[in-house]
């Protein structure tokens, strides 16, 4: 499987704490990597330029408050579970979708 989509330029660039163990997960069906202890939002924004697409117009969203209050960082697992990315720790093997799998659009 190809690596994470290179067109999704990372929004976050890690400057420190690079010694933490790597955590492999899947982002929209592609392999991606984070570091142990990252929130899912950090993992997403370190692998691309957004966390999800707006349900109202498809614009890229990257979270706003980063503390679980604004609801701007909802993502889904491949199993259809909805997660708030800023308050969910990334986990090895997690399969994350940036689009709602239940949305028929």
Nearest residue to 95 via CA among 17, 21, 32 = 32
Taking the least distance from each CB to ligand FES, the nearer of 23 and 62 is: 62
Taking the least distance from each CB to ligand FES, the nearer of 3 and 54 is: 54
Specify the DSSP element, H or E, that contains 33: strand 30-35
Separation of first and last alpha carbons in the chain: 26
The residue ranges that bind ligand FES (CB under 6 A) are 63-66, 68-73, 84, 86
Residue where the block lists tokens 């399969």: 95
Taking the least distance from each CB to ligand FES, the nearer of 31 and 64 is: 64
Minimum Å gap between C-beta 62 and ligand FES is 8
């Amino acid at each position: 499987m190809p690596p994470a989509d290179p067109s999704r330029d990372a929004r976050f660039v890690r400057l420190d704490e690079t010694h933490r163990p790597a955590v492999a997960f899947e982002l929209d069906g592609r392999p991606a990597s984070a570091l142990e202890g990252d929130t899912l939002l950090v993992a997403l924004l370190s692998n691309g330029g957004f966390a999800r697409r707006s349900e109202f117009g498809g614009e890229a969203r990257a979270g706003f408050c980063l503390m679980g209050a604004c609801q701007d960082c909802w993502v889904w697992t491949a199993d259809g579970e909805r997660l708030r990315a800023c308050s969910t720790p990334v986990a090895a093997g997690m399969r994350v979708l940036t689009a709602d799998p239940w949305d028929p659009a």
